[in-house]
Structure 1
Amino acid sequence: MNLKSLTRTELLGYSLLLLVYAIGIYYANNDVVFFDTKFAQEDGFVETGTAIMLFVISVLCIYRLVKFGRSNSILWKVGVIGMALIFLFGAGEEISWGQRIFDIESSDFFLENNAQQETNLHNMIIGETKINKLIFSQLLIVVLVIYLIIVPILYRKTTWVKSLFTTFAIPIPRWNHTIAFVAATVFILFMNNSNRCWEVYEFAFGIIFFLIFINPLNGYIYKKDS
C-alpha cells in the first residue's frame, strides 16, 4: 500500500482501525474478560462505532441521491437507494434498532426465536440454524471476498462488469481498500481467544466500506450524467 496515494480521510480511517486492532489484540490475549465486557461489549465503543459508520454510509448515499439523482437514470437511483437501505438496515441491526438504548422490551416472537432475545434479525434461530452464522457470517464473507477482491479485477478487465457497476452507481474498491480488508481478516485471528472478536471485525468492515464510498475507484459515478 502506497501511503502517499492515500487521502487524508483514508489515513485517519486506517490509523483508527490500526489502533482499535492493536488494543483488541492486546486485551484478547492478556485480559479476555476486559475484552469481552468492556472493549467489545454490547453497545460499547466498537459496536457503536460500526453502527455509526454504516449509518453515515446510508446518509452519504441519500445525500448523493438528492444532489445528483435528478440528472441520472432510474437504475442509478435504484442502485443508490438500495445501498442506502442496505446500510441503514445494517446500522439498525447492529444496535438492535435502538432497543437497549431506549429500553424497549422484545415482543414474544423475538423472545422465543432470537438467540439473544433482542429485536433484530441477525440473531434469529430457525429450527437449529442460527441466521447470524449462516447469512451474516458465512454468506457475508463470501460476498466480501467477491466484492473486495474479485470485482476490482473484473472491473478493470471486463467492459460489461464496468458498465453494470456504473449503471447502478455501485462504488468499486481501490487496492488499498482490498489490502486493508485482507489485513483485517488475517489479524482478527490474533483475537480468536474471544467470540466477541467478530465485533472488531465488523468495525473494520464499517471503516473500510466508509472509505470505499468516500473515495471509490469509479468516483465519476457520483457526478451528474454518469
Structure 2
Amino acid sequence: MASTKWYVHPVVATGVAINVFLLGLAVAFSHDQQALWRLLVEDGIVEWMQFLCFALLSGLLGFLAVEQWQREPKINLQLLAFVGLSALVGLAALEEISWFQRVLHIIPSEFFAQNNRQGETNLHNLALGKSSLHKAVLLKIIAIVGLTHNIILPLLARTKPAVRTFVEKFGLYLPPLSASIIYIVLVALSHLLVDHPRKGELGEIFGAMHYLVTVVAAYFFGVNYGKKPVFADSRDARNISTLFCMILVFILLTGWMLSAGAGAGAYIASHPGFGAE
C-alpha cells in the first residue's frame, strides 16, 4: 500500500496529532517558564514520553523478529534488521532515563561522575572535549540519517520505485513522505517558536513518536510497504489500529503522570527558582 499521505492510516494521523499538540503546548507555555521547564526538564513530560515510545517500539520490533523467525526460520537481512533495531531502540530508551538512575535513586559511579557532563549514568552525555558525545557526534549522525530516510529516499522513490524495493531488501521501510515533512517542519518550528535551553527535547519526542507510528503502520498494517504486513486488511486490522491509537494517547497521559509524580515536579521542587531567569 504505497502512499505518501500522512493521513493514509489512523495510527500515523494520531502520531502527527500528538506531536502537533506537544508543540502547541510548548508554545502556550512560553509565557510560563516553570510550566515550560516541567514539560522539558529531566524526567519531565517529554522525556518520559520519549522513553515510553522507545520502549514500546523496541518491544514491537522484537515481536516482529519473532514473527519473522516463525514465518521463515533462518537468519536473513529482515531478521537481522528487526533484532538490531530492537536492541538499538531499547538502548535509546534506557539511555533516555539514565538506566533508571534517578527513579531508583542510584548514585553514579566515579567514572560517570567525572566524565558525564550531567553526572548521569549514561553514554550519550559523556564529555567529548568541550561538548558531549550526544551534541558533538550523535546529533549530526541522527540529522544525516533522518533527512536521508525521511526526505531524500522517499522523494527518490516517488519516481524510482526500485529505491523502495532496494531499501526493503535490507529489512527496512520508507515512511510516508507527507508524515516525514510534517515531522521535519515541527522540529524546525520548535527551534523557531520556543525559547528554552532544552527545546531540543521537542525534536527528540517528535522523532520518537514519528518512528513509532510509521514503523507500526508499515510492518503491521502495510502502509507504504511492499512486503506482507503482520495484519492483513481486515476488520480485525482496523480494530487493532484503533486500539493502538488509544495506546498512543495513553502514552501521552502516562508521560504526564510520571512527570508529575517522581519526575519533574520533584526535581523542580528541590531546586527553588529552577529555570527562573
The aligned residue for residue 111 of structure 2 is 109
- Residues 1:69 and 2:69 are matched in the alignment: yes
The correspondence for 2:207, drawn from 202, 205, 209, is: 205
Q: Can you list the C-alpha shifts for 1:90-111, whole angstroms capped at 9, x where unaligned?
A: 1111111111111111111100
156-165 vs 174-183, which moves further: 156-165
**1:1-226 alignment runs, 5 A limit:** 5-28=7-30, 30-36=31-37, 38-72=38-72, 74-158=76-160, 161-216=163-218, 217-218=224-225, 220=227, 222=229
Deviation at 1:190, TM superposition (A): 3.3
* Contact 1:40 1:199 (C-alpha < 8 Å) held by counterparts: yes
186-195 vs 119-128, which moves further: 186-195
Counterparts of 2:79 and 2:157 in 1: how far apart (Å)? Answer: 21
Tell me the number of residue pairs that the alignment of Structure 1 and Structure 2 aligns.
221
Give 3-state SS (helix, strand or coil) of 1:218's partner. Answer: coil
AA of the residue aligned to 1:109: F
AA of the residue aligned to 1:14: V
Deviation at 1:125, TM superposition (A): 0.5
Counterparts of 2:189 and 2:131 in 1: how far apart (Å)? Answer: 28
Counterparts of 1:148 and 1:184 in 2: how far apart (Å)? Answer: 14
Larger radius of gyration: 2
Give 3-state SS (helix, strand or coil) of 1:142's partner. Answer: helix
TM value normalised by structure 1: 0.88
AA of the residue aligned to 1:23: L
Deviation at 1:156, TM superposition (A): 4.2
* Contact 2:5 2:176 (C-alpha < 8 Å) held by counterparts: no
AA of the residue aligned to 2:104: F
Deviation at 1:23, TM superposition (A): 0.9
Counterparts of 2:228 and 2:136 in 1: how far apart (Å)? Answer: 33
Counterparts of 2:230 and 2:5 in 1: how far apart (Å)? Answer: 27
Counterparts of 1:81 and 1:25 in 2: how far apart (Å)? Answer: 38
Stretches of structure 2 that go unaligned for 5 or more consecutive residues are 219-223, 232-277
Stretches of structure 1 that go unaligned for 5 or more consecutive residues are none
Counterparts of 2:79 and 2:49 in 1: how far apart (Å)? Answer: 28
Counterparts of 2:198 and 2:120 in 1: how far apart (Å)? Answer: 17
Give 3-state SS (helix, strand or coil) of 1:195's partner. Answer: coil
Counterparts of 2:45 and 2:192 in 1: how far apart (Å)? Answer: 20
**Cα 1:58/1:189, change in 2 over 3 Å:** same
Counterparts of 1:64 and 1:110 in 2: how far apart (Å)? Answer: 35
Deviation at 1:157, TM superposition (A): 4.5
Counterparts of 2:12 and 2:213 in 1: how far apart (Å)? Answer: 6
Deviation at 1:176, TM superposition (A): 2.6
Q: Can you list the C-alpha shifts for 1:83-141, whole angstroms capped at 9, x where unaligned?
A: 11111111111111111111111111100000001011111113334211112322211
Deviation at 1:159, TM superposition (A): 6.3
AA of the residue aligned to 1:211: V
Q: Can you list the C-alpha shifts for 1:184-223, whole angstroms capped at 9, x where unaligned?
A: 1221123441111111111111110111101131152545
